[in-house]
Amino acid sequence: MPMFIPGKPLTALATALFIGLVFLCLPYSRTRLDLSPQPTCNNRPPDDVIPNQVHFVYILKNTSHDFNFEFSHFLSIYAAWHYWRPQAIYLHTNVAADSPEVARARNGTAGKWNHYIFTIFDLKINEVDVPTHAGNGMELQNIEHKSDFVRVKAVYELGGVYIDFDVHPLRDIRPLRESGFKAIAGRQLGGQINSGTFMSTRGGKMVKLWMEQMHVAYNGGWTTHSNEVITRVGQRLVREPGEMLILERDAFAPGSWKDEDTDALFAVHEDTPSNLRNDTAIAQGMQLPSHDEAFADRWDHPERFADWERDWSHTYLLHAFTPDRWQHKVPGFEHITPRYVLERRSNFARAVYPVARVLFEQGLINVDDSHTGL
């Protein structure tokens, strides 16, 4: 009676399958991301630690136009580099590293801030195919939504920290990355998790579920596929040990898009003396004051602090929601320029001043540089 004996043929088949898998998975691309909603190789186990690499996404509406990064964007990347010393800074964009757009940014044709961003960080420029539709067939209506899909996939495939260009690192986040949690994000006004800053291990469960479900959830709503999905998935995952840490609002997104919050962040307090009031000292190349605070200064020396001044001690990343989008005029505020920050007459300026001071002392910025750098 013929019996099935699991012998050589099966072993050979298993070996062939195994070699096939290895072969399929080895050329796993770390430089060019495929953005179609398809599963990637599953035999490579996810990592346990969130790697020290940062992801930015910037999609050009017209790929034959210049990058138009401003001083505030440079400040954001520089702060990430200054406080975190990342192993890699990725720029996921829709032109190639050897494109004329990148060449013009590098050689200064597109202004000072583009020149800096593309020359001083050893940016890893990752050309992505920008998705046009969600997996459910809905057309992606604007650049912000396309960016949402690119960012989640990038962090899923590479692991690391994603921040929007209007997010300003205020301190190191190594203790968070190394906390043992595989994904970390923070709440915003109203309680949802904000999708403008998040971090994950490569292949982490939270980003994987978010990446899959955003394709189903997309309906053209501003945050249906982003904040709503990361909130739903992230909150559900907290019960699985180590999968998700949700931080309070002040950790990453202390302000908001509301007028009173953008005013509190950006408004210039004209009655406060400028940190640059001594033009003679600046002209002579003197050091700018550090304004470092000792632990108990706020209690022991309340007279040193303005009543409008916010304590940023419990903020890691300042998501500085722009007032531009809503055409709201913030009192005394025009643009984030070196002078605006170095004068230290707003809460935003005081938060990012330590990094601007380093840039000033290194001669990278001048008081009169414009926000566009042109």
Ligand X SMILES: *[C@@H]1O[C@H](CO)[C@@H](O)[C@H](O)[C@H]1NC(C)=O
Residue whose structure tokens are 């690192």: 169
Q: Residue 208: which residues within 8 A CB-CB, separation 6 or more? A: 156
Cα-only R_g, the chain: 23
Are the beta carbons of 50 and 201 closer than 8 angstroms?
Answer: yes
Nearer to ligand X, 179 or 278 (CB): 278
> Using the rule CB under 6 A, is 104 a contact of ligand X?
yes
Judged by DSSP in three states, 16 sits in helix
Nearer to ligand X, 223 or 274 (CB): 274
Q: How far is the CB of 210 from ligand X (least distance, A)?
A: 30
Nearer to ligand X, 24 or 286 (CB): 286
Nearer to ligand X, 274 or 278 (CB): 278
Residue 278: count other Cβ atoms within 10 Å of its Cβ: 14
The sign of the CA dihedral 102, 106, 108, 113 is positive
> Using the rule CB under 6 A, is 362 a contact of ligand X?
no
> Using the rule CB under 6 A, is 100 a contact of ligand X?
yes
Judged by DSSP in three states, 328 sits in coil
The single residue among 103, 120, 216, 306 that binds ligand X, judged by CB under 6 A, is 103
Q: Residue 79: which residues within 8 A CB-CB, separation 6 or more? A: 168, 169, 170, 352, 355
Secondary structure letter of residue 285 according to DSSP = T
Residues 286-305 that bind ligand X (CB under 6 A): 286
Q: Give CA–CA dist 332/315, Å, rounded.
A: 25
Nearer to ligand X, 65 or 85 (CB): 65
Strand order in the sheet with 124-127: 124-127, 88-93, 53-58, 160-163, 193-200, 183-187, 245-247
Q: How far is the CB of 72 from ligand X (least distance, A)?
A: 24
Q: How far is the CB of 142 from ligand X (least distance, A)?
A: 15
Nearer to ligand X, 12 or 286 (CB): 286
Residue 88 bridge partners (DSSP): 53
Q: Give CA–CA dist 227/187, Å, rounded.
A: 10
Q: Give CA–CA dist 205/186, Å, rounded.
A: 17
Judged by DSSP in three states, 199 sits in strand
Nearer to ligand X, 118 or 210 (CB): 118
> Using the rule CB under 6 A, is 344 a contact of ligand X?
no
Nearer to ligand X, 115 or 202 (CB): 115
**Binding segment (CB under 6 A) for ligand X, from list 78-86, 103-111, 178-186, 244-252:** 103-111
Nearer to ligand X, 113 or 316 (CB): 113
Q: Which residues of 67-82 are buried (b: 16+ CB within 10 A; e: fewer)?
A: bbbbbbbbbbbbbbbe
> Using the rule CB under 6 A, is 99 a contact of ligand X?
no
Count of residues touching ligand X (by CB under 6 A)? 13
Tokens of 231: 């909130």
Q: Give CA–CA dist 33/150, Å, rounded.
A: 9
First to last CA, the chain: 86
Q: How far is the CB of 111 from ligand X (least distance, A)?
A: 12
Q: How far is the CB of 207 from ligand X (least distance, A)?
A: 31
Residues 269-288 that bind ligand X (CB under 6 A): 278, 280-281, 284, 286
**Binding segment (CB under 6 A) for ligand X, from list 44-52, 89-97, 104-112, 226-234:** 104-112
Binding mask 224-263 for ligand X (x = CB under 6 A): ----------------------------------------
Binding mask 55-84 for ligand X (x = CB under 6 A): -------x-xx-------------------
Nearer to ligand X, 99 or 224 (CB): 99
Residues 105-124 that bind ligand X (CB under 6 A): 107, 109
Interface ranges with ligand X (CB under 6 A) = 62, 64-65, 100, 103-104, 107, 109, 278, 280-281, 284, 286
